[in-house]
Structure 1
Amino acid sequence: MSLQTTFTPLEGRRLSAALAGHIVGGEVQTHEEIASTSDLARELGAAGYAHGLVIFAETQTAGRGRRENRWSAPAGQDILCSILLRPSVRMEHWARLTTMAALAICRSIETTTSLHPEIKWPNDVFVQDKKCAGILAETFTGETGAYMVLGIGLNVNTDAYPPELRDIATSMRLAMGDGRLLDRNVVAIALMKQIDRLLPLWEQGYGSVIDEVRRRSRLLGHVVKARVDGREVEGMATDLTEEGHLMLTLANGSALTLTSAEQVRMT
């Protein structure tokens, strides 16, 4: 396990050396403070930067998640990063990136700790029944063509949350329970390598990704509620489609497939 007792900053040279030869991390930027790693990745994507660029920040002043929700984290404690991608796969498959990223996060947590993360559809990773990571995948178009920005917030070393988050958020450090800090460089390297390993399965082999995501699903087999197009739906989560969409069986016996939803929760 990658545990330590003193704070270690994210080290650009160390990250670059470990990711040399990989597509993801072919170029690495580290910043002390920026508004948003995803906003910067969007700007650099429009400027023509290469597929696989990774941007890390020790802190963000305007980090965000889905639906423009704020993503905040104490400086120097967690992994806040965005990856610029220029997919060669068909655009109708670009939405698969969120599912692959969730799987990569789970694998990286498991390779660096003894924890057992779960995927909460559509874009969260949970540890010990609390949110530990969030994902935001966005698509943009510029003069160099269409591209994606994959934003990830992974709670690594935060040791306290405000009252409104204590019951719903956790970090890898808190979940480990021994109080020691994890080396974020090791976790970040593991995460980038897992994403790099999964990208070739974006089209061919995506079925194996869904099979593993099913096994790691937090929702399957449970009754869930969600908001879809402004209305609340409730049903038993029975399966994922081949695209990773959530399949529900409603109380009246009818089936409903969710391609996207808000406020997804188990009842």
Structure 2
Amino acid sequence: MPQLQAVKSSLHSQFSWLPFSHYLFAAADNVVPLLVNEFKQASAVSPIAFSKTKEGFNPVLMMGLKEKDNLLVTAQGEWLGSYVPAYYRSHPFCMAINQRGEALLCFHQDSECVLDYLPPEGMGKHFLVEKELSPELSEIKDFLQTVENTRMASNAFCSSCEDLGLFIPWKIEPKPDAEPLAINGLYCIDENKLKSLPVGQTKSLVDSGAMGAMYYHLSSLHLINHLVLLKAKHEDAAAKEITSSVSPDLFTSARDNDLVDLDW
């Protein structure tokens, strides 16, 4: 689990950070939280699935075929995809909810990007300027608040799918003679049930934009084959100690990293 600490003027006036230059901090993530507004871009990168917690269902981008194995990150920390999920773009910062339900700006204490001193000018970005968030950190906080606001749409989308009984366990059938895939605990939308919904419910999903998101999800599921291919290339690269053989060209090009507003 990441070690998070809330940014406080009383503690972090001398702290700074370096913008991350690689994605090794994500190398042990086989899934990453995703916003429904990201489905269009993410569906060109890797399978979109759903995880289930006691609070309900949540969308995730599947990036590995086993725990602690992110196939979208090379041994050098290069990202093998045309889209980077919003969850990663603010590293080493994130928002966390405290026991009083307040959203706090936090940072990953164990990140190599975080410095507990102020480096020479031009070599890092300050947490604070005169006890207020620096302009750079204020910009990151604004982005994170936008992400949190957008999360409400994701929660509403998942609640609608759950109310309609659309979620089913994702059972991945391996190709003949292929190695079985041990993937448990992920869910997908039942396309047959989706097609059988009454006309009124279908129209409501289309009008709200939710139907489009559902089909971005469904269209992404076949990319499990890309993960299988990436796994083989990673293994081959490790054996040859040549990780450059893993190429981003395995993916189609879709480089719009902006969040998309959908009405639901």
TM-score range, shorter chain: under 0.3
TM-score when scaled to structure 2? 0.24
Q: If each structure's helix is expressed as a fraction of its own residues, which one has the higher value?
A: 2
TM-score (norm 1): 0.24
**Structure number having the greater strand percentage:** 1
Higher RCO (C-alpha 8 Å, min separation 6): 2
Greater gyration radius: 2
